[in-house]
Amino acid sequence: MSGERLAVLGAGVMGTAITTLAAGHGLPVTVVDVNPGRLAAVRDDVRGQLRLAQLMGKLPRDVETGEITAVADVTAVADADVVIESITERPELKAKVLAEVSAVVRPGALLVSNTSAIPIDELAASVTHPGRLVGIHFMNPPYLIRAVELIRGPRSTDTAMAAAAALLARLGREPVVVGDGPGFVINRILQRSINEAARIVEEGIATPEAVDAAFTGCLGHATGPLATADLIGLDNVVDSLRVLRERTGDAGYEPCALLLRKVADGDFGRKTGQGFYHH
């Protein structure tokens, strides 16, 4: 598990930005996506993110950027030391892709899921040698925010945890080690806050601007829950809420009507230009 050859599954918001983080530290990355549009765009997107992060002093300028290979075929991950799964937050899709990966990678490779909310042990059921799977919940964008949640599933081995810690050190990230469970720490709390904030807007109690201003101005948070939701992607928020609702039985996670309506209208937030805010 030397962590030198990296594969990233998913070239969406997070897969692209994780690729930026790794390539910016000199690691070659194979990116896999089923969407040809994302495969065509990923290199340019990474280049733009690299420029920004280097200008901000968040990624080293004196490191040769790792080579990026973008492919549709998941078997291209066969020689990777580390595979980071960052596809759409749908349990059945993740289970399928993790099974495909574990059929082709070396038994010693480290497998990582960047899931927002699905318990690592649930995903481990789809992996041969389930002890090699851990969760790394990167923050958005991962090349600007240093801290990550590092999730130890009940079956994750010491070797896998050590390999994950070594990878994060190589990438200049700082792990906060937490246990397994729906949403781990951050999303168990954050997704519920976003849902409640959206419900407040739906009920006409406050505008999105007022909700967020209360959090930033009164509580000193860097951003409010609805600006955060637009950054995450409202489609991803709804998927994560559904994962939490199904696994906790807690009705507080039932996605509210306003969130569902925005997703049905294609207003996903920053990535489509419209969410709670216009971008």
Nearest alpha-carbon partner for 252 in 204, 149, 182? 182
* Residue closer to ligand NAD (CB basis): 132 or 137: 137
Question: For the chain, percent helix, then strand, then coil, each to nearest 5?
Answer: 50, 15, 40
Q: How far apart are CA 105 and CA 203, in angstroms?
A: 50
Q: Is residue 126 a contact residue for ligand NAD (CB under 6 A)?
A: no
Within residues 4-33, the interface with ligand NAD by CB under 6 A covers: 9-15, 32-33
Consecutive H or E run containing 19 = helix 13-24
Taking the least distance from each CB to ligand NAD, the nearer of 27 and 237 is 237
Closest contact distance (angstroms) between CB of 160 and ligand NAD is 19
Q: Which of 80, 84, 97, 227 touches ligand NAD by CB under 6 A? A: 97
| Contacting ligand NAD within 209-268 (CB under 6 A) | 232-233, 236, 240
From 101, 190, 66, select the one nearest 139 (Cα to Cα). 190
Long-range contacts of 212-215 (CB under 8 A, 24+ apart): none
Per-position DSSP letters for 46-98, written without gaps between them: HHHHHHHHHHTTSS-SSSPPPPEEEES-GGGGTT-SEEEE---S-HHHHHHHH
Q: Which is nearer to ligand NAD, 61 or 279 (by Cβ)?
A: 279
Among 8, 68, 110, 138, binds ligand NAD (CB under 6 A): 138
H helices within 142-255, ranges in order? Answer: 158-170, 186-202, 208-213, 225-232, 234-248
CA atoms within 13 A on the CB side of 96: 8
Residue 261 DSSP SS3: helix
Q: How far is the CB of 91 from ligand NAD (least distance, A)?
A: 10
Smallest distance, Å, CB 117 to ligand NAD? 7
Stretch that binds ligand NAD, among 54-62, 108-116, 192-200, 247-255 (CB under 6 A): 108-116
89 vs 212 by CB, closer to ligand NAD: 89
Task: Please identify which of the residues 137, 221, 278, 279 carries the catalytic annotation.
Answer: 137
The span of 63-71, 82-90, 154-162, 244-252 binding ligand NAD (CB under 6 A) equals 82-90
Active site residue 25: no
Which C-beta is closer to ligand NAD: that of 60 or that of 273? 273
Does residue 194 belong to the site contacting ligand NAD (CB under 6 A)? no
CA angle 25, 141, 210 (to 5 degrees): 160
Active-site annotation, residues: 137
Chain residues binding ligand NAD by CB under 6 A are 9-15, 32-35, 38, 86-89, 93, 97, 114-116, 137-138, 140, 232-233, 236, 240
